[in-house]
Structure formats: C-alpha cells, structure tokens
Structure 1
Amino acid sequence: MTTHPRVGAVVLSRYSSSRLPGKALMPLGGRPLLGFVLERLTHALPLDDIVVATSVESSDDPIAAFCRRQSVACYRGDLHDVAGRFAGAARTAGFDFATRINGDNAFVDIPTLRQMIAIAKDDHLDFLSNVDGRTFPVGMSIEILRTAFYIRHLNHLTRPEHLEHVTLALYQRPHLGRRLYLYNTHHPEAAGLHLAIDELSDLIFARTLVARMQAPHTHYDLARLLQLIDPPPYLSDDTEGSLASP
C-alpha cells in the first residue's frame, strides 16, 4: 500500500498589522477575514491539516482565541521570526510538506491549490511556488515546501529580511532544492492585480467582490473572480505598486 506524504497548510496571521491593525478578525462575507481564508482552504484540505501560525505576543491573543472557538490548530512563535514560526508550525503539526498561506489572502485559487497539493504528494520536489514571475494576482500566492528541506535551509538564515519574508532567500538562491514553478497561462490579464488585503481600501474592494457573488465564495476561482471586477483587469492601466514581495 502506497502512502503519500502529509501535506498541510500553515496560515500566517498576526493582529498587529502596521497598515491595517486587527485586519485578521475584521468582517468579510459575514465572518472574520481569517475565518474566510480558512473556509476557502477547507475546500482543498481537511481542517485537521490546517494550522494558524501567530505570535506569542499578547496582541495576538484574539487570534488564538478565535482558533480555539473554531477548533483550528494554532501555533504561536516569535512575532518577527516569521520563517521560524512557519517551520515550527509545520514541524509541530507533523506536516511532510507545508503550504504557506498568508492570512490576508482571502481569494486563494482553490483549483491551483489542489493541483499543487497533488504535485507535492508525488514526493519528488522540495519547493513548489506560483509566485515566480507574478503571473497570478498578488494575494493568490501559494508556496509548498518540504518541511525537512526548509528546516535545513532555515539554519543558514541570519538576515532580518530573510526571517521576515519566509521564502525570500530561496528565490535568491535558485540552485537550492528540487523545485517547480507554476504560471498562470489561462488568464494573463490577471497579472498585476492586487487582491491581498493590506490596507482598508483592499478590504473594501474585497467586500465589494463578495457582495457581487451569487454563490458561496468558495465557488469563485480566478476566472470567476475576474468576472466580478469592473472594469476588467485588462482594461486598467493602474498596476503600479502591485508587485509586492513574496
């Protein structure tokens, strides 16, 4: 009997966002933003394979309390060492592969996530990403890392920016690990679109999209989301500033 490696998701979330404090629990579609993200992920993974990684700071107690109410696993680590927090959550949960999801990415593309999880389960790669080239909208980033590979890599990280940006050093060292990059070839007009919730205007935009939905938000993949945007992305010239770091 063939056993596949365990692939789980680590959702990075903190309450003390500098640009939009408390956004993790601000309402979107009738539930807190973090709950919206978790609901979306459960259409690709069982809830038992999802962990929220927040900090040990008292400011993040509301996130831990939310996780307890929702029966979601919560790992708490250093606020500033996000890389260590991600690795600690993956190791503690027993994930062979950990999917990095940002807690402000409300519209992760479920079909792409399912596809990447299936590839990871083949157990041939160390790193999968749809971030290279930014062909997907900002806010649809998915990265899957072999936990043992990432922990070995973590031992060599010392620069603050590498600890804050979980995978930055891997993009700067393309020779490390067996990797695969996935690109959005079906909807190239989506490149440069900003769907991450960084500021209040992003949250208002997300609420506008959800209000236009005529079915549950989990039914909306990239193609259907693009249909909700007016004007469509390919008619917009304002993409300046949309290429955020991974």
Structure 2
Amino acid sequence: MTAGVIIQARMTSSRLPGKILLPLGKKTVLDYVVNRAKLVRGAEKVVLACTVNPADDVLEEYAAARGVLLHRGSEDDVSLRYLEAAEKYGIETIVRITSDCPFIDADLASSVLSRYSETGSDVAANILDRHLPRGFDTEVFSAEALRQTRNLNLDAFYYEHVTPFFYENPDKFKLMSVVAEEKRLHRPDIRICIDEPRDYELLQIIAGHFEDECQFKALNIVELFEADPNLIKINADVAHLKQGGKT
C-alpha cells in the first residue's frame, strides 16, 4: 500500500497568522517541515494539504515553485481535507504531520510508520503515551479508517481534529502506541512547535545552532535544552491547543 506524508497547513492561524512562512535562518518554517518530511523512510509521497481560503493562495504558489504535491480542501473539516488529499494522490497509508512542527524528526516518524506496517494496526502514533517534546508528533493511519469515520456523522470536533475518534474507540480500531527507545527523548516538558511569538523566538534560537535544516535530529535538540535549562522557560507557559486542529 502506498504511504505518503500529508502535511496540513493554513495561513490563517488564530494566534500567529502566517507563522508557517516565517523565516528560520535562510529557510522558512514550512521549508523545514517539507524538507524533513521528504526523509521519512517508507513514505513515497509528500503532500501539502491547505485550504480553499484565498489566504492560502500563497501556499499554492509555494508548492508550485518547489514541486510539492498540493491539495486544497475544507478549512474546518480537516478530516475531509486529508481523505481527499489521500485519494487524489493514491495514498492508502497516511503519515500525518502538521506544518507548525518544523523540527519533525524523520527517524521518529519513520519508526511510527514502520510499527504501523509491522503490526497491521489501523492507527499508530507517538502521542498516545505523551513522552516526546511537543513538535515531534507523528500519526499514521489508513485512509480506510478515515473513510469509516466519514460514514458516522460525528460531531464537527472529530472532523476538525481528525484522529481523536480513533483514540476514543480502541474497540473499533487497532491502535499502536510507539514509544522512543532513547530515554533522553522523553521530555514532554519541551515545546518546539509554533503557535505564538515566544515559540518563534525559541525556534530561531534552535535553528541558529545548525547550518542545515535537515542536519540535526531530535536528540541534538534535547541536548541544547540539557546544556541550557533556561531555553525551556522561553515558551513554558504557552498553552497547547487540543491535539489536531485546523493547522
């Protein structure tokens, strides 16, 4: 079955509009996400899934300029956006990554995809047992599982946030929790996604330590926090939105 990374994205973030095109060194936040997503082993395609909102026209231009596959869909029904993107590009195994996580680790994402395939699960994720820094989240699920939720006329919350229905119904879906073996990565107190200006400040500091956007791994980032405990204070009080959402 064809596996592909589908990156959900939009320009109309409520807390920091346009955040995914903010610069990180010589690249943008979205450059980091896309270029690192291309390194996920076992994923044959990378798709940018943005919305039909005219504000996202710039993302269509971004994708065209870089040869990135693109799908534009519903702004509120993110689940439908994902399913349409998967069907458009013949993806049956969806690797879900969000565009506000520029330092997504390809090795960690690859391990989630690998465990999904090895166990015959409907859903595999490294967020079921929250142990990694926020910003390394990866979920893998079948397009068929997503289709099943489309037939249930669920509350809009489930279609906006895509995956909570899976996790709330382990009797209906075979779930696999993927936990990183490296204990030093078990730092859920660290936050390296971008929602607010303080997040961006921290991301700039991290990016400034490395020359290439694909050069460093999750452990390299954790080592920065180990060396400078004050880093965690920069955005420690930023509230994290409910898992998923319209990003």
Normalising by structure 2, we get a TM-score of 0.88
Structure 1 residue 49 corresponds to structure 2 residue 23: no
The whole-number CA distance in structure 2 between the counterparts of 1:235 and 1:165 is: 27
Structure 1 residue 18 corresponds to structure 2 residue 14: yes
Map Cα deviations across residues 50-88 of structure 1 (whole Å, 9 max, x no partner). 000011111110011100001101101111111110111
The whole-number CA distance in structure 2 between the counterparts of 1:37 and 1:16 is: 18
Structure 1 residue 150 corresponds to structure 2 residue 146: yes
SS at 1:9's partner residue?
A: strand
Any residues of structure 2 matched to 1:155-170 within 5 Å, and which? 155-170=151-166
Structure 1 residue 187 corresponds to structure 2 residue 184: yes
Residue matched to 1:212: 209
Give the letter aligned to residue 144 of structure 2.
A
The whole-number CA distance in structure 1 between the counterparts of 2:114 and 2:36 is: 17
Shift of 1:130: 0.5
Give the letter aligned to residue 108 of structure 2.
T
Residues 122/182 of structure 1: CA separation in 2 closer, same or farther (3 Å cut): closer
Shift of 1:119: 2.7
CA RMSD, 1 decimal: 2.4
Moved more, 117-126 or 88-97: 117-126
Equivalent residue in structure 2 for 1:83, among 66, 76, 79: 79
Give the letter aligned to residue 191 of structure 2.
H
Give the letter aligned to residue 223 of structure 1.
L
SS at 1:80's partner residue?
A: coil
Any residues of structure 2 matched to 1:1-246 within 5 Å, and which? 5-45=1-41, 49-122=45-118, 124-185=120-181, 186-187=183-184, 189-213=186-210, 215-229=211-225, 231-232=228-229, 244-246=241-243
Q: Percent identity?
A: 22
8 Å contact kept, 1:137–1:193: yes
The whole-number CA distance in structure 1 between the counterparts of 2:66 and 2:42 is: 14
- Aligned pair count? 241
The whole-number CA distance in structure 2 between the counterparts of 1:188 and 1:108 is: 13
8 Å contact kept, 2:108–2:180: no
Map Cα deviations across residues 157-189 of structure 1 (whole Å, 9 max, x no partner). 431211211112222222221220012352255
Residues 243/22 of structure 1: CA separation in 2 closer, same or farther (3 Å cut): closer
SS at 1:34's partner residue?
A: helix
Give the letter aligned to residue 109 of structure 1.
D
The whole-number CA distance in structure 1 between the counterparts of 2:40 and 2:136 is: 14
Shift of 1:92: 1.2
8 Å contact kept, 1:48–1:72: no
Shift of 1:118: 2.2
The whole-number CA distance in structure 1 between the counterparts of 2:189 and 2:29 is: 22
Shift of 1:48: 5.8
* Structure 1 unaligned residues grouped into runs of 5+: none
Shift of 1:129: 0.5
The whole-number CA distance in structure 1 between the counterparts of 2:214 and 2:67 is: 20
* Structure 2 unaligned residues grouped into runs of 5+: none
8 Å contact kept, 2:4–2:43: no
